[in-house]
Chains A and B, each alone.
Chain A
Amino acid sequence: MRALTYEGPYRVGVKDKPDPRIEHPQDAILRVTCAAICGSDLHLLHGLVPDTRIGSTFGHEIVGVVEEVGPEANGIRPGDRLLVPFNIACGACWFCERGLTACCENSNPSSDVACGVFGYSHTTGGYDGGQAEYVRVPFAAVGPERIPDDVDDLDAVTLTDALPTGYQGAEMCDLHGGETVVVFGAGPVGLFAMKSAWLMGAGRVIAVDRVGYRLDFARRWAGAETLDFDTVDVVTAVKDATGGRGADASIDAVGCEAAGSPMQRAVGVLGKAVAGSSVALNWCFHVTRKGGTVSVLGVYGPPFNLVDFGTAMNKCQTIRTGQCSVKRYLPRLLEHVREGRLDPKALITHRYPLEQAPHAYHQFAQKRDGCIKAVLLPHGATLH
């Protein structure tokens, strides 16, 4: 089959690889119809995630049709159209039983910091991702969800990661109505976090980024106030806007590749001496009021960062973090999508055949051509 392959920092290609096969009785093989490129794939692309091996296939936002089913994957059949949460979860361990499928303890031998994730280095289990014609899906009857006929692939693919992650980010802010929420990063996850903050009763939503077209989109689509951190001092501007006290909650939807500090960029992103740049997280601590909440969705690598933790501690802030346990959010979010309250495919600005994946990564990483979210269609136009 054809698959995207990692060729070292800043380089991906598309090559022939052996077809995936059933390796465990609960596996299924999926024919991928739509695979999105996530902002966190850029951390892999830039060599910031440990144990990303040459030849790996990325892609953890996957929609496809079941091709082959293992003998113990009861409940799914060849031909079923599935959306696949990025977490690989057994459904029966201590964490899965309590709703934290993102903490499953039966899918990752390589680390305690995360469960298995599709196409996200050997640190998260060494699974190949879905930016390919076919993909192996472990525990196929547990995590993946059948897609209702009235939901198309482009809406469904956002439900595999970006939309639930944004929603969880807003949920972790513990909003009760009327709060001011600052969202760092107007990429797909940040935009979904803004919409979700409104859903949960936010009084004001402020978006921070420096990419003009994304700030425009945040204003139009998510109804947010916007701040360009290249032109204003973000912390001062938020304090000005909140009577000097600071925002009630902030959401870091950026992670380890944040711009805004030349020193952090040089040491973390370019030099790779620490796990990327923590500028967005540090700004979260500073813009949030004392006793407020900082919700962290941005992906940070496991080694240490230059985090301004003393500020958070002294300001008595609550910090909530976590990979999204996608499975538990799917029923509610599918309902929002089907009833028109959320229109996630509005974010998908670019579609590419698999062979153009390197170009797609380049456009997405460089924020070219108004790209907000790009998807790959390994079998041409979607089948549904």
Chain B
Amino acid sequence: MDERTSATPPAIAEQGGIGQYKGRDLDPARRPGVPRLHAPERLQGARWPIERQRSDVTVFMHGRPHKTFPPVFGTAEPPHGISGLIRRAAYAYPDHAMRHWSLLLFADRVDAWGYRARRLLPWLAPVVALGALAYGAASRVGPWRGRWTGSRAARFARRAAFD
């Protein structure tokens, strides 16, 4: 035990109270969350019935029965691409199906890989093009002429591509 302090800090002790257990909210009646469910009372500013939000954005609802689409929802990042298709499949299942969550996590990974690939593409495309040109040139002229084109790997690649 590094250090011991067992007295209620003075700022939050009950005024005029003595003893170390006299916290200001010791009485449960002073605690806002007691009882956990209180008698029903609509919050100030609430309106009923709630008008339905209209949106052209694709928003998935999970596959739980006995639930209607809520009147208000977020439209932050619409689904797209392959990750969007996986998410669509995931939302066919309800919350209590493990598949629902596993597919969503997989879709997140696919989304991230896609994003990285899109970011790398402007850098990667010229590098790949230059590499292909260099390979083509080196296989036709210079001291390495024919060295790679006649290799077992190159023959295998040609067969795979054209045969």
| A interface residues with partner B (beta carbon < 8 Å) | 7-9, 23-26, 47, 50-57, 72-75, 88-92, 94, 96-101, 105-113, 116, 122-123, 125-128, 138-139, 141-142, 168, 171-172, 174-178, 195-196, 198-204, 215, 219, 222-228, 237, 240-241, 272, 275, 301-304, 325, 327-329, 331-333, 336, 340-343
A5 to B115 alpha-carbon distance, docked (Å): 12
Q: Please name all residues of chain B whose beta carbon is closer than 8 Å to the beta carbon of A219 when the two chains form the complex.
A: 2-3, 5
Q: Please name all residues of chain B whose beta carbon is closer than 8 Å to the beta carbon of A328 when the two chains form the complex.
A: 32-33
Closest residue on chain B to residue A17 by CB atoms: B76
Q: Please name all residues of chain A whose beta carbon is closer than 8 Å to the beta carbon of B72 when the two chains form the complex.
A: 24, 26, 88, 90, 106-107, 116, 138-139
Closest residue on chain B to residue A141 by CB atoms: B45
Residue of A50, A52, A105, A304 most packed against chain B (CB within 10 A)? A50
Closest residue on chain B to residue A94 by CB atoms: B40
Contact of B76 among A122, A225, A227 (CB under 8 A): A122
Number of interface residues of B (CB under 8 A): 76
Is residue B16 contacting chain A, with contact meaning CB distance below 8 A? no
Taking the closest CB of chain A, its distance from the CB of B157, in whole angstroms, is: 32
Cβ A177 vs Cβ B77 within 8 A: no
Q: Which 3 A-B pairs have the closest CB atoms?
A: A91-B46, A91-B43, A141-B45
Is residue B152 contacting chain A, with contact meaning CB distance below 8 A? no
Residue of A98, A219, A333 most packed against chain B (CB within 10 A)? A98
Q: Please name all residues of chain B whose beta carbon is closer than 8 Å to the beta carbon of A142 when the two chains form the complex.
A: 43-46
Cβ A177 vs Cβ B40 within 8 A: no
Closest residue on chain B to residue A106 by CB atoms: B70
Closest residue on chain A to residue B111 by CB atoms: A54
Is residue B41 contacting chain A, with contact meaning CB distance below 8 A? yes
Cβ A237 vs Cβ B12 within 8 A: no
Cβ B47 vs Cβ A126 within 8 A: no
A51 to B100 alpha-carbon distance, docked (Å): 10
Taking the closest CB of chain A, its distance from the CB of B133, in whole angstroms, is: 32
A98 to B37 alpha-carbon distance, docked (Å): 5
Cβ A26 vs Cβ B50 within 8 A: yes
A7 to B59 alpha-carbon distance, docked (Å): 21
* Contact (A24, B53) CB under 8 Å given A51-B107, A96-B46, A195-B12: yes
Q: Please name all residues of chain A whose beta carbon is closer than 8 Å to the beta carbon of B101 when the two chains form the complex.
A: 50, 275, 301-303
Q: List residues of B (14-59) whose CB comes within 8 Å of A's CBs.
A: 20-26, 28, 30-34, 36-48, 50-51, 53, 55, 59
Taking the closest CB of chain A, its distance from the CB of B45, in whole angstroms, is: 3
Cβ A199 vs Cβ B24 within 8 A: yes
Q: List residues of B (50-84) whose CB comes within 8 Å of A's CBs.
A: 50-51, 53, 55, 59-62, 64, 67, 69-77, 79, 83
| B interface residues with partner A (beta carbon < 8 Å) | 1-9, 11-12, 20-26, 28, 30-34, 36-48, 50-51, 53, 55, 59-62, 64, 67, 69-77, 79, 83, 87, 90-91, 94-95, 98, 101-102, 104-105, 107-109, 111-112, 114-116
Chain B interface helix/strand/loop/mixed = loop
Cβ A342 vs Cβ B12 within 8 A: yes
Cβ A23 vs Cβ B23 within 8 A: no
Taking the closest CB of chain A, its distance from the CB of B31, in whole angstroms, is: 5
Contact of B23 among A107, A200, A227 (CB under 8 A): A200
* Contact (A203, B20) CB under 8 Å given A109-B73, A110-B60, A127-B76: yes
Cβ A23 vs Cβ B55 within 8 A: yes
Taking the closest CB of chain A, its distance from the CB of B17, in whole angstroms, is: 10
A64 to B55 alpha-carbon distance, docked (Å): 26
A327 to B43 alpha-carbon distance, docked (Å): 10
* Contact (A110, B33) CB under 8 Å given A122-B74, A199-B25, A225-B6: no
Cβ A98 vs Cβ B38 within 8 A: yes
* Contact (A303, B74) CB under 8 Å given A109-B61, A227-B2: no
Taking the closest CB of chain A, its distance from the CB of B113, in whole angstroms, is: 8
Cβ A302 vs Cβ B95 within 8 A: yes
Cβ B95 vs Cβ A111 within 8 A: yes
* Contact (A112, B62) CB under 8 Å given A54-B111, A237-B1: yes
Q: Please name all residues of chain A whose beta carbon is closer than 8 Å to the beta carbon of B79 when the two chains form the complex.
A: 53
Q: Please name all residues of chain B whose beta carbon is closer than 8 Å to the beta carbon of A172 when the two chains form the complex.
A: 33
A43 to B3 alpha-carbon distance, docked (Å): 31
Cβ A199 vs Cβ B2 within 8 A: no
Cβ B23 vs Cβ A202 within 8 A: yes
Contact of A24 among B25, B51, B69, B91 (CB under 8 A): B51
Cβ B36 vs Cβ A100 within 8 A: yes
Cβ B9 vs Cβ A57 within 8 A: no
Cβ A92 vs Cβ B105 within 8 A: no
